[in-house]
């Protein structure tokens, strides 16, 4: 089909995720046609450096022959195998076993989901099963972070703390709560890391007390680095302090590594930076590098055995999905894991260090209030008043202008609605490609300075 025909059909039929439906009908899609490495082409022949790895997920880059081969062979041999009724496939079992070897601590049990949102939803179900199994059904409340993102299923959207996912959706639910984000740039106690950690622990304890004490609180969820909330990198030691606080109060500590997992921040999992072992962990995105849908929930042996042992003999644990442990996705996951363990993680660390150096040089730009990064995950926060950290007025439309300028300059990134640039390039980027990415981001920032309204707003 021609691009024009596809655009017409898109406007008429395809509902895009987390989008303005009116804008989509008005402007139509940007039609991607091919990808190789860190580069994409659209159907108009425009070449783009993908600075966001699709949606934080194409960690190993586009066009990896070994991944395509693994998928093709599995589809030819066995394209589907149910996990129900005691059945399984070799690829799913092998992937679960290999992941158990590399996950932190005793996170040896894995439930495969279809993506990140339903991994979180599954984790919330398992938490309820666990609390009932141990005779503490009164522990119902779950606490997350302001600016946290934990998917867009009905229950996950309530644990998410972003307004777009709450509007007209009747969430958060009564048992879902949030405490302040550990953002060194905007936390009242910042930028001092120790002060933020102390304040965060106090906030968690205060929220638990408000809910009636630990006997009423089931779990605390957090991203080791907050993603969709604007790439918030907590101070070192924060994750450890929150984990220990949860342990002291007998509250499950759950890390959401849907974005940060599989090398995005350097090590295979971000909680490894501090040697933290959560009770449960959710992953997706980098698990298959976006080549096929798949997510997972890892749980400790203690959580798993408690649920298992409390179930009467022959009675099923009532949670599952048709595509859990899909053999093709699992085969892809195995091929992607091979790539991580054979050079991709090391390259991501090297490229991430260079990315941090280049970003530091952008701090002097008139619109840049803060830059932060963890490996190949970074954010650039724009302000119009650096001293007071004043966000640009919505009427300036900076996010849309950034996205347009990026496309014109051949770079894709996340233009958050609150004027933060999100970067998550493939871990396979060379230093040279990282330079191209940063050069083009600087070009986008300079393009904004050609806008008289934006310049006039700068203090």
The number of beta carbons lying within 10 Å of the beta carbon of residue 203 is 17
pLDDT for residue 319: 96
Name the β-bridge partners of 254: 221, 280
Structure tokens belonging to residue 44: 């108009």
Span 414-440, average pLDDT: 97
3-state helix, strand, coil in the chain (%, to 5): 45, 15, 40
Which residue has 């909330």 as its token pair? 229
pLDDT for residue 264: 98
pLDDT for residue 3: 92
35 in Cβ contact with 291 (< 8 Å):
no
> Phi and psi at residue 452, in whole multiples of 5°?
-60, -35
pLDDT, tens digit (0-9, with 9 covering 90-100), for 57-104: 999 999 999 999 999 999 999 999 999 999 999 999 999 999 999 999
Alpha-carbon distance 184 to 321, whole Å? 39
What is the percentage of the chain residues whose pLDDT exceeds 70?
100
pLDDT for residue 334: 98
pLDDT for residue 73: 98
C-alpha distances in Å from residue 396, one per residue of 175, 420, 440: 37, 14, 21
pLDDT, tens digit (0-9, with 9 covering 90-100), for 203-219: 999 999 999 999 999 99
DSSP E strand boundaries for 20-126: 32-36, 39-42, 47-50, 109-113
Q: 190: pLDDT confidence band, cut at 50, 70 and 90?
A: confident
pLDDT, tens digit (0-9, with 9 covering 90-100), for 140-157: 999 999 999 999 999 999
pLDDT for residue 173: 97
Asked whether the predicted pLDDT for residue 279 surpasses 90, the reply is: yes
Name the β-bridge partners of 421: 380, 415
Following DSSP, what letter does each residue of 184-234 receive, concatenated?
TTT-TTTT-HHHHHHHHHHHHHHHHHHTTSGGGEEEEEE-SSBSTTT-B-P
Asked whether the predicted pLDDT for residue 348 surpasses 90, the reply is: yes
pLDDT, tens digit (0-9, with 9 covering 90-100), for 367-389: 999 999 999 999 999 999 999 99
Q: 116: pLDDT confidence band, cut at 50, 70 and 90?
A: very high
Mean pLDDT of the chain: 97
Alpha-carbon distance 373 to 356, whole Å? 6
Alpha-carbon distance 23 to 279, whole Å? 42
pLDDT for residue 135: 97
């Amino acid at each position: 089909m021609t691009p024009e025909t596809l655009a017409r059909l898109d406007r008429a039929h395809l509902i895009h995720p987390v989008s303005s439906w009116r804008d989509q009908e008005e402007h139509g899609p940007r039609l991607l046609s091919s990808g190789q490495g860190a580069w994409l082409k659209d159907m108009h022949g425009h070449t783009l450096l993908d600075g966001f790895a699709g949606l934080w997920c194409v960690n190993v880059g586009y066009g990896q022959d070994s991944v395509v081969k693994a998928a093709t062979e599995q589809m030819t041999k066995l394209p589907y195998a149910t996990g129900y009724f005691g059945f399984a496939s070799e690829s799913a079992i092998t992937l679960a076993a290999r992941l158990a070897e590399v996950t932190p601590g005793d996170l040896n049990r894995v439930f495969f989901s279809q993506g990140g949102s339903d991994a979180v939803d599954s984790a919330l179900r398992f938490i309820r099963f666990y609390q009932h199994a141990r005779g503490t059904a009164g522990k119902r409340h779950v606490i997350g972070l302001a600016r946290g993102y934990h998917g867009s299923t009905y229950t996950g959207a309530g644990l998410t703390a972003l307004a777009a996912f709450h509007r007209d959706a009747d969430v958060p639910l009564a048992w879902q709560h949030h405490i302040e984000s550990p953002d060194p740039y905007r936390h009242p106690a910042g930028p001092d890391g120790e002060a933020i950690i102390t304040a965060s622990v106090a906030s968690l304890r205060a929220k638990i007390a408000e809910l009636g004490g630990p006997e009423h609180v089931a779990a605390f969820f957090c991203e080791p680095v907050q993603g969709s909330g604007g790439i918030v990198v907590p101070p070192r030691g924060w994750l450890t302090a929150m984990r220990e606080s949860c342990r002291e109060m007998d509250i499950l500590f759950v890390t959401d590594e849907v974005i940060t997992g599989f090398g995005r921040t350097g090590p295979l999992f971000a909680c490894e930076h501090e040697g933290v072992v959560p009770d449960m962990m959710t992953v997706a995105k980098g698990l298959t590098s976006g080549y096929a849908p798949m997510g997972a929930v890892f749980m400790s042996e203690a959580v798993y055995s408690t649920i298992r042992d409390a179930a009467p003999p022959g009675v099923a644990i009532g949670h599952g999905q048709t595509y859990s442990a899909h053999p093709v996705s699992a085969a892809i996951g195995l091929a992607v894991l091979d790539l991580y363990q054979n050079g991709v993680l090391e390259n991501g660390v090297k490229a991430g260090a260079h990315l941090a150096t280049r970003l530091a040089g952008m701090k002097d730009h008139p619109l840049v209030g803060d830059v932060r990064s963890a490996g190949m995950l970074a954010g650039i926060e724009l302000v119009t008043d650096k001293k007071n950290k004043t966000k640009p007025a919505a009427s300036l439309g900076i996010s849309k202008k950034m996205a347009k300028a990026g496309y014109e300059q051949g770079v894709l990134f996340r233009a958050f609605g609150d004027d933060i640039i999100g970067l998550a390039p493939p871990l396979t980027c060379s230093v040279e490609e990282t330079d191209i990415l940063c050069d083009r981001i600087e070009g986008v920032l300079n393009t904004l300075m050609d806008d008289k309204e934006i310049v006039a707003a700068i203090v």
